[in-house]
Structures are given as structure tokens and as C-alpha cells.
Chains A and B, each alone.
Chain A
Amino acid sequence: MRSPGKLVGSLKEMFPFDWELLRHAGAEPVPYHLKKWWFCLGGTVLYLFIVQVITGIALTFYYVPSAGQAYQSVAAITHEVRFGWFIRSLHKWSANFMIVAVLLHMLRVFFTGAYRHPRQLNWLIGVGLLLTTIAFGFTGYSLIFQQQSFWGATVACNLAEAIPLIGPTAAYFLRGGPVVGENTLTRFFILHVGVLPTVIFILLALHILLIRLQGVTALRFEGEEVPEGQSHFRFWPDHVTTELAIGVLLMYFLTIFALVFPAGLGEPADPAVTPAHIKPEWFFYFNFRLLKMTSLKVSVVATMVIMAGVFFWPFIEQWLSRRFKIKDVFVVAIGVIAFLLFLVLTVWESFA
């Protein structure tokens, strides 16, 4: 029997990874301002995403992605499988929390100007992550194949159809045909568990890589005093402990929500019967309200314009500041107005 040291040595030859590099990367000092809780929102999103992956994979053990059996399988999970209602409710609430966290994270990044040069690329990737998250929410909800799922998907595909130039093709691709049917469900399923996870993994990897490469901006706020010798703190164990605390807190909230507001089941999808009130998921409310206030074409084009604005914001701001010499307060104002608009439209629709 070889000594432990020799055993480890031969393992290292088998897998010649530079562990020192990892230790060094892990020991990267974390800037002081990350002690503030609203800088942990990114980590929150990541944690919630991990919860989604785990609960999502668990759910795929029982979910059947066929129009005839989808609803039944979800009902079986909810009523018959042990802790099925719990895992499903966790998945539902983690999705909602994740979208909220993404939006808050985005706001934080915006208002701290962390998108500015040289971090524009990371902003683009971030918006990509936002859109992917929304796409996750949309495809996931449709998989239940209840009335709201079916008709929500129908409406969304109809909206997609109204996009200039690529609309009809995109809609046809999404539906897998001229109307929402068998093909649609299988497509949404594979998007939800295959395509989108791949995309998000890639984007996440790039996102985190860029953060590590470029470092987190060491921000200072006016009038803030940094105690001596505390400009940075350790990743391990300090920051990890913080993240751990946040993780447990999130699990606690998710569990409580799963207990008090368990995921329910509406009427099974019926292509012959359109329910009186079709509503998309809450994160589409602002869009829906816009659609009701204007027309199909107008709202779709407006949404595209807004999305483009959000996407290219770092560059837009660069161009604006060069042209007009705008002040910070102007940027803040734009951010506040945009967010308020989103909030107002969303809340308005929720009461409609």
C-alpha cells in the first residue's frame, strides 16, 4: 500500500490541473462595497437559478411533454407524488423570485454605472441573460398545459407574429405550425430543458468570467468613509459565508411561500373554449397593458424599441454624453422613469 502522499501524487499526474491557480482565484479579495446587501443580488440570481436547475431536473422525472398527458402528469406531481407539490411550488416561486432578483440586479448595475466602459460587453451579456430568464418563465409556464398556459402561448405567438420582417417565421417556428398544438408543447419543452439552459450556461460563464477578468469595480460613494485596512475582504470564508446566509434565507422564504401559496392547477387546456380573461404571466403585464392601450403593431414595435434601448444603453449613454455632456442625474432620471413606467403598467394590468 503506497503512502497517501504518493497516492495523491499519482492522481495529480493523472489530472494535471493547476490547483494553485484555483486557490489563487478563490482568494481574490472582495471589494468593500460588496458588504452591502444590494450588491449580492447577482449572487441571489445565481443561487435561485441553481435551485431551478435542481428542482427542474427533479420535475422532469415525472413530467410528460405530450399534449395529451402533460396536464395529467402535472396533476400527478401536485397530488400524488411524495413532496411533489413542494418541489413544484419551489420551482414556481423560485422562478418568480429569480425574475424579480434579475430586475433588481439590473437596476443596481444601472444606478451604480457599472455598465460603463470597459464593461459594456458584460451589460450586453446581462441583458441576454434577462431575456433568457424571461424566456424560461414563459416556456415553463406553458408546459403545464392548463387553459392559461395554452391561451397565453397562443397570444404570445400571435404577438411574435406581429414583429416586423421576422415575425411570421418566428411565430411559425415557435408554434411548430400555424396554430398552437402538439408540436408547440414539445418545442417549448425542449427549449425549456435543453436549448435555454445551454444558452444561459454559456452566458453565465461569460458573465462571471468577465467579472473575474475585469474585477468588480471598487466603488466609492460620496462622503463614505472606509475604515482603515478594510478596503477589501476575503472571498473565503467571509464572502462565501455571506452568500451562504443569503442562500439559506432564500430557501427559507421559498419554503414558506411553497407552504402558504402552493402552486395550483387551473382548468386543462381546451382549444375549443377561450376563457373570458386571458392573462399572461405577471412579468408580461407591462407589455399586455401596452397592447391594450395601443394596437398590436404599435405595442410590438414599441417593445422592440425599448428592448433595443435597454440592450444598447451603454453605447447610447456614451454617445449622449459626448454629444450633450449630460450629468449623472439625467441618467438616474431616465432609469427611474423607465422603472416607474414598468411598475405602473404592471400594477395597472394586475388590477384590470
Chain B
Amino acid sequence: MTLNAKRYVVALLSVFFLAALLLVAYQESRRHRIETGRLPVITGANKGCVDCHRKDGPALVQEWEISRHAQLGVGCVDCHSAQKTDIDAWQHEGVYISALVTPKDCARCHNREYEEFSKSHHARAGEILASLDNVLAEKVAGRPDNIADAVNGCWQCHGAIVKFARDENGQIMRTGKENKPVIDPDTWPNSGMGRLNPDGSKGSCHACHSRHAFQAKLSRSPENCGKCHMGPDHPQIEIYNESKHGIAFYANRDRMALDKDGEWVLGRDYSAAPTCATCHISSYMTPQGIEVGNSHDVGERISWTLRPVISTKLNMVIYEDGFKEDYPEGRALPAVGDKVKTIEKFVENEKLINRQIEREVAKIVTWQDRRQNMKGVCLNCHNDTYVDNFYKQYDDLVTLYNDKFARPAQEFMNELLADGALKADAPFEHDLQWIFYELWHHEGRRARHGASMMGPDYTHWHGMYEVSKHFYIEFLPEVIKTAELKSPALKAKYQRKIEEFLTKDEHLWLKGLSPKEAEALRSSYKQRYNQ
């Protein structure tokens, strides 16, 4: 190769080298953009835990490291430390800890949220353990020595009473070289919303704020609520997904500021769509400024209760110590300053008991007030005529369900009970009781929830259609069959009752449509489908 050619070779190779160095410079600039503010801070108190558990449970540590807690130096010991006298504490590697972190522990820092949450229905979710649903799980589906349906099903959403394994003297059993207290495995792990904790607190913060990353974007996402608020009896997530609110959300997830640190205000930080949290908990803009959400009492904006057989409006009585009680419309409201004997549930000796406590009334919040709070959210996107008309549509549906189906059905059930055809202590003995249960608890609630959150299909096909169908072709005939089981005389009585009942205008369709209506049906079908 000539010298000249060699020089060109050098020039060419230099270009390659230069290009590679430019790539190096680019790589270097990218490295710089890692924000150091996001790095975790491992304080001296937590260093021991982190170093060991980085090998024993690495993913848990890695999740904590991306959390906001870690960025501020809040670590293992800050949440898990316990007093020596705590019932669930034991000494682990020289420190007294408890694996169970309850709302009281979170309240060491988040005590405002704890105050709000502990008064809410979420905190009381575990108190349904004396309900029909629980009977279904424990007795109907379960066995005396195996209540796994309740353990894995009901309790995982509603929360269990956390218990310990005890010896014959009632002392908590301990195990291992650290003398760890033994928890009843049926009651833990459990992250149910209304978990009843050994320290007396109610609820579990991480039911919504999944540990150990405690990501805001997870808590704000509708799927989070959907873990429990779904299914045949209250398909809120399904309804949300069907509704325009849900469609708007899923299409605009990246514009929802879900990851935003600190406040998350509709009408300021995001506008694309509401999530469950938006309407039920979070902050929103009003013409007067930010309406700061009562971040953890989910009932403050609810005006109807859609749970019972017959829905009612809900007033709220707030007592001086913060205790809140829902008063269904119809129950006489006390006055501010009155002393009322309230009933509050507590866990004593690992059992749920009622305790009567006299309290002074501090504030009354009517259902109209509560509805007004909810409307404030709606008004961020919709105008007031829109919102008011929606509420009329919703109210009418609930009234329709109440008056046409729920009340009559409940009356029939009450009468059969009075007549002895049904027994109060055998709630699922007859087919009729199952049919009735599902009528109001399943399709009846689906219809009402569907209307409440703009899910037309749930309101009608999964809702009122099934309510009406089951009412007419299953419930009513079964009433007669149940009466018959008691005596032929009773059967005759109920046949007459139902016949009389069906003379009402709203049931006249059973006899047939008017000739004009029938013809309209037939001809339009023929026109369209030629059938």
C-alpha cells in the first residue's frame, strides 16, 4: 500500500473512531439524566434489615426501594417495629417487630388518613361476618371443620378477625428460636379491607395501597377497587368498564397523571376521565378552588344505599368523637347535641361483639348534602341540568325496582314467614329463599348499580330484565309451591293473593298486549327481517 493510501486509511479509521466517541458522549449524557432524588435512602436503623432481606426476599426489597417511603428514608423498622408488650410482637435479630402492619402502625405518620378511614364503611367491611352472606360461606358451602370458602372468599375482601393459635390454657402458642407467636393460618394472610386486627384497629391500608411499593398509580387505578367491587352482586368495575367513564379512562390512561406525587385533583391535574377514586374519594376543582377530598371515607358522597332488599336514601349522623352512623331515610334523625345510645362492634377475645356507647350528636349530614358533594365532582365535566337530570333517571330506576318488585316480594316473604311456611332460623331451606335472595341481592343490585354508574346493559339485561323475569316466572310460582308445602289451604290463600296482586295495571301485560301494540310489533319485525 502506498503511503498516500495509508494516510487515507488513517483518515477513514479516525472517522470511525470519532463516530464511536460521539456515541460514547451520547451514552454519557443519557446516564446523567437519572434523577438522584429517586434513589432510596437506607438509614442506619434499616440497614441491617435491607442487607439481609436483599437476599432473603429480594423482590420485596426492590419494590420498597422504588417507593416514596424509601426516597424519604422510611424503611422496614419504621413500619414493622413493635413494643415488647404488643400481642403480635417478637424479637427478630435484636429488634422487636411485628409482621402485621395495621392502620394504627400506618397512623404513626398518616394519622389523618387513619382518622378518616377508621370511621368509614371500608373499615367496617369486616363487620358483615354476622350476615347472610357469611352464613352462605360458612354453613351452606362450608363444613364445621373447614370454612375455606369464607377464608378464601368472603374474608379476603371483607377482612378476617386475625386470631392466634392458642394452647389449652388460652395462651398464645410460640414457635421457632425467636419465639414467634403463631397466627391462626385461616386468618392470615389476609388483606381484607375491614380486617379486624389484634391491636384493636379496623381495616388494612394495604388493601388499596399495595405494599411494599405503595404506588399512588396503583391506588388510583379502577382495577384496584375492582378486586372486590365486582361480581354478580355488585359489578361496579364491570359497570365502570361498560360506561363512558371507563372507556374514556382506558383510552387516556397516560393523561391521567396517575403517578403524580402529592395532590391529585380533577380539573387541575387531570381531566380525561374519572376513576373510582375520583368520584368517591379524591379532590376536585370547584369554582371556589380545590375541594379537598375526604381522602378515606368512601361514604361521604353516597345518597342511596343499594345494598338492602329495598333501597333507601342515607342520612349521616356524626358524633363528637368522630363516630359516624348511616340513618336510612325513615329513621328519625336526632338533633345536634342529643345523647344517643349507639351500637359499635368490637373484637373481644377474638370474637366480634356489640357494645353500646352513649355519644353526643355533633353534626347531621343529610342525603341531599351527600349528593351535593358527589355533584361537585360531576360538575367538573357536566353542567348542572345534565347532572340533575341524570339523578332523576337514577332515582326513578331505584324507585321502579323498589316499588314494582322489591316491596311486593318482601311482603310475600314476610307473610309466608308469618304463616309459618318459612322459618326465620332457616334462611336457605326452600328454593324460594334462594330465588328471593338472588332477586334482590344479585340481579336487583346489578340493576341499581348499573343505573348509578351509567352502565345500561347492567341496568337492563343483567338487571331489571332478570329481576322481572325471575319475579314473574320463578318467584311468584315458587311462593305458591312453598305455601303448598305447608298446607293446601295455604296454597289456595296465596293463589288468591297473587291473582289479586296481578290485577294491578303494571302487571296487566301478562294478559297480553293491545291489538294495536301486537300488530305494530309483528309488522315492524316482518318489515325489517322478513320473518
A–B contact via C-beta, under 8 angstroms? yes
Measured CB to CB, the residues of A under 8 A from B are: 35, 79, 82-83, 85-86, 237-238, 241-242, 244-245, 248-249, 251-252, 255-256, 258-259
Within 8 Å by CB of B6, from A86, A242, A249, A251, lies: A242
Within 8 Å by CB of A85, from B10, B16, B31, lies: B31
On chain B, the residues within 8 Å of A85 by CB distance are 27-28, 31
Instruction: Specify which of A83, A238, A248, A251 lies most central, judged by the most chain B CB atoms within 10 Å of its CB.
Output: A248
A-B contact pairs, 19 of them (CB 8 A): A79-B31, A82-B28, A83-B24, A83-B28, A85-B27, A85-B28, A86-B28, A238-B3, A241-B3, A241-B6, A241-B7, A248-B16, A248-B17, A252-B13, A252-B17, A255-B20, A258-B24, A259-B24, A259-B27
A238 to B17, CA, bound (A): 21
Q: Would A245 and B24 be within 8 Å (CB), given that A85-B31, A237-B3, A251-B17 are in contact?
A: no
> A79's closest neighbor in chain B, by CB?
B31
On chain B, the residues within 8 Å of A248 by CB distance are 10, 13-14, 16-17
Do B10 and A255 have beta carbons less than 8 Å apart? no
> A246's closest neighbor in chain B, by CB?
B13
Do B24 and A86 have beta carbons less than 8 Å apart? yes
On chain A, the residues within 8 Å of B10 by CB distance are 241, 244-245, 248
B21 at interface, CB cutoff 8 A: yes
B365 at interface, CB cutoff 8 A: no
B343 at interface, CB cutoff 8 A: no
A144 to B7, CA, bound (A): 40
Do B6 and A238 have beta carbons less than 8 Å apart? yes
A86 to B21, CA, bound (A): 10
Do B6 and A259 have beta carbons less than 8 Å apart? no
Can you list, as one digit per residue, whether each of B1-28 has a CB less than 8 Å from chain A (1) or not (0)? 1010011011001101100110110011
On chain B, the residues within 8 Å of A82 by CB distance are 28
On chain A, the residues within 8 Å of B24 by CB distance are 83, 86, 255, 258-259
Do B28 and A255 have beta carbons less than 8 Å apart? no
On chain A, the residues within 8 Å of B20 by CB distance are 252, 255-256, 259
Measured CB to CB, the residues of B under 8 A from A are: 1, 3, 6-7, 9-10, 13-14, 16-17, 20-21, 23-24, 27-28, 31
Q: Would A252 and B28 be within 8 Å (CB), given that A238-B3, A244-B10, A245-B9 are in contact?
A: no
> A234's closest neighbor in chain B, by CB?
B3
On chain A, the residues within 8 Å of B16 by CB distance are 248, 252
A238 to B3, CA, bound (A): 6
Do A245 and B21 have beta carbons less than 8 Å apart? no
> B9's closest neighbor in chain A, by CB?
A245
A258 to B21, CA, bound (A): 10
> A244's closest neighbor in chain B, by CB?
B10
A252 to B19, CA, bound (A): 9
On chain B, the residues within 8 Å of A245 by CB distance are 6, 9-10, 13
On chain B, the residues within 8 Å of A241 by CB distance are 3, 6-7, 10
Report A196 CB to chain B, min CB distance, Å: 28
Report B54 CB to chain A, min CB distance, Å: 10
Report A171 CB to chain B, min CB distance, Å: 31
Within 8 Å by CB of A249, from B1, B7, B13, B28, lies: B13
Report B65 CB to chain A, min CB distance, Å: 15
On chain B, the residues within 8 Å of A252 by CB distance are 13, 16-17, 20
> A262's closest neighbor in chain B, by CB?
B27
> B22's closest neighbor in chain A, by CB?
A255
Report A242 CB to chain B, min CB distance, Å: 6
A244 to B17, CA, bound (A): 13
On chain B, the residues within 8 Å of A35 by CB distance are 1
A35 to B13, CA, bound (A): 18
A259 to B27, CA, bound (A): 8
Report B55 CB to chain A, min CB distance, Å: 9
A258 to B6, CA, bound (A): 27
> A89's closest neighbor in chain B, by CB?
B24
Do B13 and A259 have beta carbons less than 8 Å apart? no
A116 to B339, CA, bound (A): 114
On chain B, the residues within 8 Å of A86 by CB distance are 24, 27-28
Report A274 CB to chain B, min CB distance, Å: 14
A248 to B28, CA, bound (A): 22
Report B86 CB to chain A, min CB distance, Å: 33
Report A237 CB to chain B, min CB distance, Å: 6
On chain B, the residues within 8 Å of A83 by CB distance are 24, 28
> B3's closest neighbor in chain A, by CB?
A238
Instruction: Specify which of A242, A245, A249, A256 lies most central, judged by the most chain B CB atoms within 10 Å of its CB.
Output: A245
7 pairs of A and B residues whose beta carbons are closest in the complex: A255-B20, A248-B13, A252-B17, A241-B6, A252-B16, A245-B10, A251-B17
A241 to B31, CA, bound (A): 36
On chain A, the residues within 8 Å of B7 by CB distance are 241
Report B144 CB to chain A, min CB distance, Å: 50
Q: Would A259 and B23 be within 8 Å (CB), given that A248-B13, A252-B13 are in contact?
A: yes
> B28's closest neighbor in chain A, by CB?
A83
A86 to B22, CA, bound (A): 12
A251 to B31, CA, bound (A): 22
Report B19 CB to chain A, min CB distance, Å: 9
Do A255 and B6 have beta carbons less than 8 Å apart? no
Report B2 CB to chain A, min CB distance, Å: 9
Report A99 CB to chain B, min CB distance, Å: 22
Do B13 and A255 have beta carbons less than 8 Å apart? no
A79 to B23, CA, bound (A): 17
A238 to B20, CA, bound (A): 26
Report A309 CB to chain B, min CB distance, Å: 39
Do A255 and B3 have beta carbons less than 8 Å apart? no
Q: Would A255 and B17 be within 8 Å (CB), given that A238-B3, A245-B6 are in contact?
A: yes
Report A86 CB to chain B, min CB distance, Å: 5
A86 to B16, CA, bound (A): 17
A249 to B6, CA, bound (A): 13
In addition to A83-B28, A241-B6, A259-B23, 10 A-B residue pairs with Cβ atoms within 8 Å of each other are: A83-B24, A85-B31, A86-B24, A237-B3, A241-B3, A241-B10, A242-B6, A245-B6, A248-B13, A255-B24
> B24's closest neighbor in chain A, by CB?
A86
On chain B, the residues within 8 Å of A259 by CB distance are 20, 23-24, 27
> A237's closest neighbor in chain B, by CB?
B3
A256 to B20, CA, bound (A): 6
A140 to B10, CA, bound (A): 32
Report B67 CB to chain A, min CB distance, Å: 21
A245 to B28, CA, bound (A): 27
Report B77 CB to chain A, min CB distance, Å: 23
Report B402 CB to chain A, min CB distance, Å: 66
Report B469 CB to chain A, min CB distance, Å: 66
> B31's closest neighbor in chain A, by CB?
A85
A123 to B47, CA, bound (A): 56
On chain A, the residues within 8 Å of B27 by CB distance are 85-86, 259
On chain A, the residues within 8 Å of B13 by CB distance are 245, 248-249, 252
Report B191 CB to chain A, min CB distance, Å: 33
On chain A, the residues within 8 Å of B23 by CB distance are 255, 259
On chain B, the residues within 8 Å of A256 by CB distance are 20
A45 to B239, CA, bound (A): 72
On chain A, the residues within 8 Å of B28 by CB distance are 82-83, 85-86
Report B300 CB to chain A, min CB distance, Å: 48
On chain B, the residues within 8 Å of A238 by CB distance are 3, 6
Report B197 CB to chain A, min CB distance, Å: 38
Report B78 CB to chain A, min CB distance, Å: 26
Report A236 CB to chain B, min CB distance, Å: 11
On chain A, the residues within 8 Å of B17 by CB distance are 248, 251-252, 255
A255 to B21, CA, bound (A): 7
> B6's closest neighbor in chain A, by CB?
A241
A241 to B10, CA, bound (A): 8
Report A175 CB to chain B, min CB distance, Å: 27
Report A134 CB to chain B, min CB distance, Å: 29
Report B27 CB to chain A, min CB distance, Å: 6
Report B10 CB to chain A, min CB distance, Å: 5
